[in-house]
Amino acid sequence: MHEPSRCAPSRQPPVRARAWSLPLVLCVGLAGCRTPAPRAGAPATHCVPELYGAGLFTTGAWDFFLAFTPDQRRVLFGRADDAFERYTLYETRLGADGSWSPPVKPRFASGWSDADPHFTPDGRAVFFISNRPHPGEELPAARATFDVWSASLQANGEWSEARRIPEPVSDATRDEWSPSVAANGDLYFGADRPGTLGGSDLWVSRLVGGIHQPPENLGDAINTEGHEVEPWIAPGGRFLLFSALNRADSRGSYDLYVSRRGPGGWEPAQPLCEGINSPARDFNPSVSPDGQWLYFSSNRPFTGPVGARFDTPRNDASLEGIGRGTGDIYRLPMSVLGL
């Protein structure tokens, strides 16, 4: 989630009455790709992502960013109003009967804007951004900037209260976006703080002795004079996905990119395949905990393919809005990308 102008389970249950389920449906064509399957490790150049979770994760609203627990039985995702100005987090859980619960706001959600959820690789905590007041503040309106916050899953399976991640990660005068945590605790995020190469850059705050260090700019292999935002770091740090605006190789609005970590550091970022990147806004990449699926959001006109629809009476109205220019969630097998 970013505005520069503003300072699945692999085994899926059957559909059940008055509940949602997520059957595993592969993309149309050969593993989601229009061209012959690439050799192992080679990315495809033309891809066909499928619309995902219609009526559950994907509705007539702006829906964005899927974050799964490691067992893929809980999902957090974001939803925004039509103006894409107010953001809320929702959670759904996979029940014992194999059905997904209706989405509800998690305990740590606020009356302010919350967005960009990322589970830690061990699933014990979630990091997100919020413009809620800082502890001890009593503000009549939302803060002008977004900071990094986190909440923990307690032993009883319920959420703790949220806590703000303090300086030097959060800067009370500037925005942070999409806080993604690697297995070693290093925290990657987007920000427009001093030292950026363009409108906004990607940064990492390394965890040393349990304390996050001053953020380091990821450098010109990743950052440009455009807007780099919304990172997702692979748990082992092998590659970094992100969205960006106004890069020289852009296909339109926001596009998705990947940088691989080589022996000498981060390699020059490359755009993901045509079909993921489009003239529309393509943003908020994430990967399933088992490494099988890429998820992202896009406001492109919907043309298909589509996975399962969740046509229940309570969702028929929202289903009518899919593909109308608000954000919908898509997915594609990671194997197509050579990652």
pLDDT digits (tens, 9 = 90+) for 201-246: 999 999 999 999 999 999 999 999 999 999 999 999 999 999 999 8
Going across the sheet that includes 293-298, the strands are: 50-51, 328-333, 293-298, 282-287
Query: Which amino acid makes up residue 317?
Result: A
Query: Which amino acid makes up residue 295?
Result: Y
Whole-angstrom distance, CA of residue 29 vs CA of residue 12: 21
Whole-angstrom distance, CA of residue 333 vs CA of residue 66: 15
Span of 5-14, 264-273, 296-305, 324-333 with lowest mean pLDDT: 5-14
Higher pLDDT, 254 or 312: 254
Supply the pLDDT for residue 146: 94
Share of the chain above pLDDT 70, in %: 79
93-143 pLDDT tens trace: 988 888 889 999 999 998 889 999 999 999 999 999 999 988 877 776 678
Q: 257: burial class by Cβ within 10 Å (0-12, 13-18, 19+)? A: buried
Mean pLDDT of 252-256: 91
Confidence grade of residue 304 (pLDDT, cut at 50, 70, 90): low
Structure tokens at 44: 């495809």
Could you tell me how far CA 183 lies from the centroid of its own chain? 17
Question: Please, are residues 207 and 184 in contact by the beta-carbon 8 Å criterion?
Answer: yes
Supply the pLDDT for residue 82: 72
Confidence grade of residue 306 (pLDDT, cut at 50, 70, 90): low
49-70 pLDDT tens trace: 998 888 888 787 788 899 999 9
Residues contacting 167, CB < 8 A, separation 6+: none
Higher pLDDT, 16 or 265: 265
Query: Over 90: is that where the pLDDT of 295 sits?
Result: yes
- Strands 163-164 and 147-152 come out as antiparallel
Mean pLDDT of 291-304: 86
- Kind and range of the H or E element at 337? helix 334-337
Mean pLDDT of 143-171: 95
- Kind and range of the H or E element at 56? none
148 phi, psi to nearest 5 deg: -90, 130
Which residue ranges form the domains of the chain, and what is each CATH number? 50-337 (2.120.10.30)
Supply the pLDDT for residue 134: 87
Whole-angstrom distance, CA of residue 60 vs CA of residue 142: 25
Query: Over 50: is that where the pLDDT of 27 sits?
Result: no
Query: Over 90: is that where the pLDDT of 178 sits?
Result: yes
Query: Over 80: is that where the pLDDT of 326 sits?
Result: no
> How many helices and strands in the chain, by DSSP H and E?
2, 22
Structure tokens at 335: 């194997």
Average pLDDT value for the chain:
82
Higher pLDDT, 250 or 302: 250
Higher pLDDT, 338 or 44: 338
